[in-house]
Amino acid sequence: MNETIHKYHRLYLIGFFLILALPILNLSPWFSPPDWGKTVVFKIIFSILIFLFIWQILSEKKFSIKTSLPLWLLFALFGVFLLATISSQDPIYSLLGDPHRAGGFLNFSFYIFFAVLAFLILRKQDWRKIWLFTIFIGVFVSIIAVFQQYKTLTKIFVPVEGRPFSFVGSSVLLGLYLVLLVFITLSFFLKEKEIKKKLFYFSALSLFLYVILLTGSRAAYFGLLIGFIYFIFAWQKSFFPLKKKNLLSSLKILFLILLIISAYGVYYINTHPKLPSYLQESKTFQGFSNRLSINLILEDPRFSAWAISVEAIKERPILGYGPENFSIAFDKHYDPSLPYITKAWGNWYDKAHNFLFDIAVTAGIPALIIFISLFAVLFYKLQKVKYNPDNPNAIITHGIQATFLAYFANNLFVFDTFSSYLVLFLLIAYSLSLTTQSKKSAIAEKTEGVKYKKMIILALFVCLIWFIWSLNLKPLIINKQANIALQSKDENCEQALAQIEKLLSSHSFLDHYLGIKYVNIVNACIKKEPSKSIEIAQNVISVLKKNTKIRPAYTRNWLYLGIYANFLIEKGLASVDEADYYFAKAQEISPKRQEIFDEWAKTYFITNEYLRAKEKAQKCIELNPFAIIGECWWTKGLCNIYLGNIKQSKIDLQAAKEKKYDTESKTSLLQLVEAYLETENYEELIEVHEKLIKLEPDNAQYYATLAYNYKVIGNYEKAEETAEKMLELFPEMKEKVEEFLKTLPNH
């Protein structure tokens, strides 16, 4: 490394330490969602380091860099993701992403260059400090998870009823982050000779394993299993000789026994629903054992999401749909007939929950090949240096190999976020450092010959300031204000909407994200302030129309537009043609979405076009008759009532009930009242009003209508009985009840 770079080595180290501390950054409303705030701070710090690095290169007389195949594969990974972004079906979103996932090509490229710069800057003696600090941060994150689990310091840390997530955002992502730290921590524990540090590594390792257990992440369990199988069974004495003879063999036998016992334990849990009382009383064990249910695993909708991914890959195998565009591919090939992918499980996927499909769908098969090749080559190179008798870090390289295997196993079921990416690319940089220490080749020389160096540096500085403000600080401030607006929606809806509208007028790459947040606030505000519902609905349609221009391939923009158009149609302020257009666009993007046909059926139901409404509801049902989406059956049943098909309507309404639709709610019963009243089906009206009375026994109108219906069908005895019951409950209605009784025979 060059002398000039070493002059600022401490500054670089400070930057790296600040970046590695970011997993603990989680402060609302500034840094929410947590990964969004972390990536913003990461890009600000790292862009300054990159500027400093380029400035030093331009100031050097000669600069050299260590090169190797993995390094070139990193650059190739950057290149193929860049091409995928350029050819993306939504290029801006692929480039910048949004706070929800904190993804996008820009963020991903920063991770790549973070690994490159760490490889170039950090010296041999720095790496131990870097990993010690990274493990310390992991310990802090884990301690917070324990506090959450046991509801300690609840005024400071958010307690959880389920599985802890600490600062990472979710329990499965916390599991992935800690899996990446387990084997490197274990390796340093074995290598370390100083008692205090050895004790720290052992304590950290124990804490990581315990918190992974608390997360209930089956993906993390699987990752640990694969990692430990490799770490134990591929361990050779030459890596780290054990003092006692045959101790390594005994260790491998012991681990094999543990594997067998664990396998039997999983079998026992799944075949014995009634466990011993002392186990049933343990919340930790219950949370852990519930996650090992084979039935729960087999019913996971991710398997169906992967089947959809295969179809998407077939369509665009080379460069995919673009980074962050998995939702576009998923919606296009969505099939509700696949197992467990229906509404009850949540069917709006923006990640495949599998790195193979995530990369192949969004960036193409070549990107996946390069990604896997990068780790394969690193694994091979680590294997070579591991067997070098002069290598003092054999156990470390072995631990990194185990980490890579654990990572791949874990990521067959989840996806990366900021914290896991940070540790992963740090591991890549460390692997490059361990495997290319003696190989150098000059790639840039005589940089004093670069013309206009000062102008270039000035231009880069201006770009740096623009980048920090426009793509980081400004969006961070906007997102913070949006979070405040969301938090205030329950207290002051009007003010919350006004705040989001003001933010939208500032125009940033977050406009689409803010538009979706606006919809979330509107949903709450319409219920809270129905008197302003028309104005609110008109405003949200205006916002959603702008959203469709920003992301025209985002299905939910068009679906939401159709839903709010339906609302305005009921008020006489929108046309059927308008709703038709929105739902047709949604169907074009996602042809088999049952939700689209369900809402489309409501368009015609509202306008009394019951035959057309029935056709749309039937189409919704035909997409998957077994799906748990009872709304379609319910709408079809109502349509059949209006069309006079009472027998078929009974079948449809029963099917809606079986599909978990709340057929006994007040809203549902009132819809039936309106339908039966329109068709003069008084016997059914009687049954419905009896149910309404059970729901609201203090509603006098229900008794009055029930008595009248009995009179209409000629059941005067029940009419009189109901009227007298009404008089008993509501004596103030005496005059009206007596007038009604006079209309009955024998009075």
Confidence of residue 155 (pLDDT cuts 50, 70, 90): low
How far from 95 is each of 104, 108, 421, 509, CA to CA, in Å? 5, 9, 17, 10
- pLDDT above 80 (res 746): no
Residue closest to 305 by CA, chosen among 270, 267, 336: 336
Q: What is the pLDDT of residue 447?
A: 47
Q: Among residues of the chain, what percentage have pLDDT more than 70?
A: 91
* Residue the block writes with tokens 């290169």: 57
pLDDT tens digits for range 176-197: 999 999 999 999 999 988 999 9
Confidence of residue 360 (pLDDT cuts 50, 70, 90): very high
Q: What is the pLDDT of residue 652?
A: 94
Rg of the chain on CA atoms, in Å: 32
> Which domains, from first to last, does the chain contain?
3-445 (no CATH), 489-592 (1.25.40.10), 595-663 (1.25.40.10), 664-747 (1.25.40.10)
Confidence of residue 355 (pLDDT cuts 50, 70, 90): very high
Residue 527 or residue 522, greater confidence: 522
Q: What is the pLDDT of residue 692?
A: 92
pLDDT tens digits for range 367-376: 999 999 999 9
Q: Among residues of the chain, what percentage have pLDDT more than 90?
A: 62
- pLDDT above 90 (res 477): yes
Residue closest to 562 by CA, chosen among 576, 543, 547, 546: 576
Q: What is the pLDDT of residue 439?
A: 42
Q: What is the pLDDT of residue 475?
A: 94
Least confident of 115-119, 164-168, 223-227, 475-479: 164-168
* Residue the block writes with tokens 């396998």: 263
- pLDDT above 50 (res 305): yes
Query: How many Cβ atoms from other residues are within 10 Å of residue 427's Cβ?
Result: 24
Mean pLDDT calculated for residue range 442-450: 46
Q: What is the pLDDT of residue 243?
A: 62
- pLDDT above 90 (res 366): yes
pLDDT tens digits for range 706-742: 889 988 898 888 888 888 888 888 888 888 888 888 8
Two tokens, residue 742: 């006079």
- pLDDT above 50 (res 495): yes
- pLDDT above 90 (res 110): yes
Give the separation between CA 535 and CA 547, rounded to whole angstroms: 19
pLDDT tens digits for range 661-705: 999 999 999 999 999 999 999 899 999 999 999 999 889 898 889
What average pLDDT is seen over the chain? 89
Mean pLDDT calculated for residue range 314-334: 96
- pLDDT above 90 (res 91): yes
Confidence of residue 121 (pLDDT cuts 50, 70, 90): very high
How far from 445 is each of 5, 6, 52, 60, 393, CA to CA, in Å? 15, 18, 18, 9, 33
Confidence of residue 1 (pLDDT cuts 50, 70, 90): very low
How are beta strands 441-445 and 62-65 bridged, if at all? antiparallel
DSSP state of 492: -
pLDDT tens digits for range 246-302: 777 888 888 899 889 888 877 877 777 676 665 555 666 666 667 777 877 878 889
pLDDT tens digits for range 621-636: 999 887 767 899 999 9
- pLDDT above 50 (res 526): yes
Model confidence, pTM: 0.90
Two tokens, residue 504: 């939208």
Note whether 340 and 564 are within 8 A (CB): no
- pLDDT above 50 (res 446): no
62: β partners: 445
Confidence of residue 743 (pLDDT cuts 50, 70, 90): confident
Give the separation between CA 745 and CA 473, rounded to whole angstroms: 80
DSSP state of 23: G
Mean pLDDT calculated for residue range 584-613: 95
Q: What is the pLDDT of residue 580?
A: 96
- pLDDT above 50 (res 640): yes
